[in-house]
Structure 1
Amino acid sequence: MGEGTTVAVIGLGALGLVSLKNLAEEGYVVTGFERNGYVGGLWNYTEEDKTSVLQSTIVNISKERGCFTDFPFERDVSSYPSAAEVQAYLLNYVDHFKLSPNIRLNTCVKQVRRDQVRNKWALDIEGAGPEHFDKVVIAIGMNSIPNIPVVEGIESFGGVCVHSRAFKRPDDFVGKKVLIVGLGNTGADTATSLIGYAEEIFIAHREGTIILPRVVDGKSLDHSVNFRLTKLQDFMNDHFPDFAEKNLNKFVKKIQDKAFTIDPKWNLSPAPSLKQSVPVVSDTLVTAFESGSVQPVSALRKVVQENAVELADGTHLAVDSIIWCTGYKTHFGLVEDEYDPTKRTTAQWAASRGSNGKPLPRLYQNIFSLERPDSLAFMGTVAFPNPAFQIYDLASMALAQVWKGRSSLPSRASMEAAVDAHHEWVCGLARRGSVYPGIVKPQEWMRWVNEAAGTGVDEYLGYGWKGWAFWAREPRFCNLLMTGIYSPHVFRVFDGKKKKWDGARLAIERANEDVKMKKVKLL
């Protein structure tokens, strides 16, 4: 199955583009719908009230690890690309794989509903009649609805109060006393971008965080992660989960403390476990804390006057601007309720303090609709410490193979049970603190996706006969894959269900050579 089967991909940010490409290369007749006049989603800077990067944004993961599996960044792009360079990369991706004929811009899908008579999905298009498809991939909804906490007295606040989605220009806050709510990567970027513009900058947090640099001693921090270390961590997570969690937290904190001197007065420790959160990656935030340019404060409790707030520790601050860096709610409202995976969020999740008012989608492997796994899938609801481009490249490769019949799904009852067990685990994390609803167990999800996509990685880099045969035949290259940069191209090296990329080996060798020849420099 594949040839002649029609698929609609709704949303053409990075996740939608890679889904469109991976399905098209398996023979599906794919049409991508994008309501904007451009592809790339949030990577395309816009001053409109839409989710986008800042003009000053630099990615938090190196290009060597953060690219798609069969398309590296250009060699002259810095190791940590700017947002504009990532957007150019995505446009080059479209051109390289000749995706333009499959793309329809300025086309708004108002609703996705099941046409039982035709046994197809009907897409209601704004300004046009419905169009019908055999299968649908929803690649929007993750970063469209701002998540704004309910704060006592907020209606009396007299100043500017916006979500980070609406924050575009720091010079709009010249002379302002700004309170940023949320110490994640968005909060850190927002705070440091305001330096030199705002009179005072406060960043409120309730749980602390780990802060990591992008580069240590001229070497990208993420280049120290290799395939062998990842497999060792997977083994520890499988067999000694508590020890593995504690050891990872301790190891990463050592990296932080070697790079930065963290003042106890900032209350960053104890930080949430890396099992359920990601560190802040910033080369300038600690310096800003040290200089007082940005002041870390405790969590926002309530608004007490039109220009004053009270914090959790009882402190009162005079502020005239609040910026919510509190993330987004997953929203799949364009899918009719029967098939919307966010409509069955459990009371257990909603009652957990770490849910933060966000829904918890019910999806098998955080991808497949439980009601229609053979024809409805969602991209954007898988999260763990790994590059997002790589995650969704693999997810859409697996999706293509499942829908093609080369890989299978368990029964509906088994999938429901798996989701129940997974949600029980997620709720357990949420009782400890904040957690992203799309979180998965890395080792389990990666084993599943490698098998479903047919990458061959676990076989050829494992300890079975294929692994030993590969090592005997290619010892130098095998060692490079195991101990060199953990390149996304490794998933296209071997024969398997998915399409092999003949350029994967050269790309991996070139990336390792490039980082040895020169130290990484930031923009």
Structure 2
Amino acid sequence: MDYCLKELQGKTSHDPYFNHNKIMNKCVFVNGPVIVGAGPSGLAAAACLTSKGVQSLVLERSNCIASLWQLKTYDRLSLHLPKQFCELPLMPFPHDFPTYPTKQQFIKYLELYAITFNIRPLFNQTVVSACYDRSLGLWRIRTDTTTTASSTEFVTRWLIVATGENAEAVVPDIEGMEEFDGSIMHTSLYKSGEIFKRKKVLVVGCGNSGMEVCLDLCNHHATPSLVVRDTVHVLPREMLGKSTFGLSMWLLKWLPMRLVDRFLLITSRLLLGDTSRLGLDRPEIGPLELKNLSGKTPVLDVGTLAKIKSGDIKVCPGIKRLLKHHTVEFVNGQTEEYDAIILATGYKSNVPSWLKEKEMFSEKDGLPKRPFPNGWKGECGLYAVGFTKRGLLGASIDAKKIAEHIHQYFQ
């Protein structure tokens, strides 16, 4: 620790990672891995390490665990997959939880998970840079404390990046946004359709979030429209009395992916009808193959499709531009007025903004360059968890591998 302090005192104004507006009041050597992010992925990594007898330090920029779930999700949200596919390593969901736990139940599960494995993150620690010091053979992680004008450097042999694929909201640059007189918000700020009662709302994005927000708006007596800019696979959440995801995983044990995709599409056509007649064209590639190639998740219908069929939700083409007086012009030339626009345009990784490393993570999308199942390990003690595009199941797989690999150094 003394050496780290001396190194810090010797830094000059030419150091690109030093923030002179902050007071660097301490440097801490961590005799174990440092995990950046206290979401489900970070908690899973910490728990797996604890089970191996390896203590870790979790850094979190917010003031709570699972901040995306607690602070940036809508009230009606529940897990899209059955709970057995969403549990974190070493601890199942409580038996009395429903098949699809609610947002509140999932947060309760995560809080109990943190208590069970004695995971106590350092909150309000925003990582501003992390770089590998080759002269020391150690990672130097610098944080700003959001509640005070201070900064800290953590030094460690192992760095686990657990900020995930959904660290920052994606807000598209739509022409005329500054001209539109109505409100515009990302789904990260949307809680309930209650405030939109009797209002016309345009939802941009037809993924699971966009579909569910439209349904929530309908349930609160708003009039939603849904912008569908691309092809999309809509599947029933359950088939033949089983979850579509669970049935797909079982079939993949016996059949090739293309045959399973064909089965899913035929069954979906029987249960849901021809979605293209509703303005929801399907991609040419099957849902599982598309997910495997691009990470694009099919929509699991929870009732939105019935509202589209009944006309309660109108499907619209892409937006060309926004105009004054609440007006939206679509790419087909038609215009319509809306009281508000909700952007269900997803999230992205923020890793390139703070990790000073060029080999493991892509600067373009902030995801590991090597695809699953090989994206969890980098060089010089760098690891990634929660970037598999396979949800909580993928994060759990990576967390177990990381803990096993680091544990070898403590034997």
Q: 1:115-161: per-residue Cα shift (whole Å, max 9, x none)? A: 34432112223224312111111111522322222333333222111
1:180 aligns with 2:203: yes
Q: How does 1:277-316 map to 2 (within 5 A)?
A: 277-316=296-335
Cα distance, 1:17 vs. partner? 0.1
Q: 1:169-199: per-residue Cα shift (whole Å, max 9, x none)? A: 3222233221111100010111111114464
1:76 aligns with 2:79: no
Q: How does 1:39-438 map to 2 (within 5 A)?
A: 39-44=65-70, 46=71, 52-100=72-120, 103-126=121-144, 127-140=150-163, 142-197=165-220, 199-216=222-239, 218-227=241-250, 229-233=251-255, 236=256, 244-245=257-258, 247-262=259-274, 264-271=276-283, 273=285, 274=287, 275-276=289-290, 277-333=296-352, 335-339=354-358, 344-345=363-364, 358=365, 361-363=368-370, 365-369=374-378, 373-384=379-390, 388-404=391-407
Please give the alpha-carbon distance, in whole angstroms, between the structure 2 residues aligned to 1:334 and 1:10. 14
Q: CA RMSD in A?
A: 2.7
Shift in CA distance, 160/190, structure 1 to aligned 2, threshold 3 Å: same
Q: Contact 1:5/1:28 (CA < 8 Å) preserved in 2?
A: no
Give the TM-score of the pair, scaled to structure 1: 0.64
Please give the alpha-carbon distance, in whole angstroms, between the structure 1 residues aligned to 2:80 and 2:349. 22
Please give the alpha-carbon distance, in whole angstroms, between the structure 2 residues aligned to 1:56 and 1:159. 24
**SS of residue matched to 1:155:** coil
The AA in structure 2 aligned to 1:380 is: G
Cα distance, 1:315 vs. partner? 2.6
The AA in structure 2 aligned to 1:230 is: L
Please state which structure has a larger fraction of its residues in helix: 1
Cα distance, 1:226 vs. partner? 4.8
Q: Contact 2:352/2:366 (CA < 8 Å) preserved in 1?
A: no
Q: Contact 2:206/2:344 (CA < 8 Å) preserved in 1?
A: yes
The AA in structure 1 aligned to 2:212 is: D
Q: Contact 1:143/1:328 (CA < 8 Å) preserved in 2?
A: yes
Q: Contact 2:386/2:398 (CA < 8 Å) preserved in 1?
A: no
Q: Contact 1:157/1:305 (CA < 8 Å) preserved in 2?
A: yes
The AA in structure 1 aligned to 2:98 is: S
Percent identical: 21
Q: In structure 1, list runs of 5 or more residues that go unmatched.
A: 47-51, 237-243, 346-357, 407-523
Q: In structure 2, list runs of 5 or more residues that go unmatched.
A: 1-29, 145-149, 291-295
Q: 1:362-390: per-residue Cα shift (whole Å, max 9, x none)? A: 35723333xxx231122222124xxx222
Please state which structure has a larger fraction of its residues in strand: 2
Please give the alpha-carbon distance, in whole angstroms, between the structure 2 residues aligned to 1:318 and 1:337. 45
Cα distance, 1:279 vs. partner? 1.6
Cα distance, 1:395 vs. partner? 0.6
> Which residue number corresponds to residue 45 of structure 2?
19
Shift in CA distance, 393/282, structure 1 to aligned 2, threshold 3 Å: same
**SS of residue matched to 1:195:** helix
1:28 aligns with 2:35: no
Q: Contact 1:333/1:340 (CA < 8 Å) preserved in 2?
A: no
The count of aligned residue pairs is 367
Please give the alpha-carbon distance, in whole angstroms, between the structure 1 residues aligned to 2:142 and 2:110. 27
Please give the alpha-carbon distance, in whole angstroms, between the structure 1 residues aligned to 2:201 and 2:183. 9
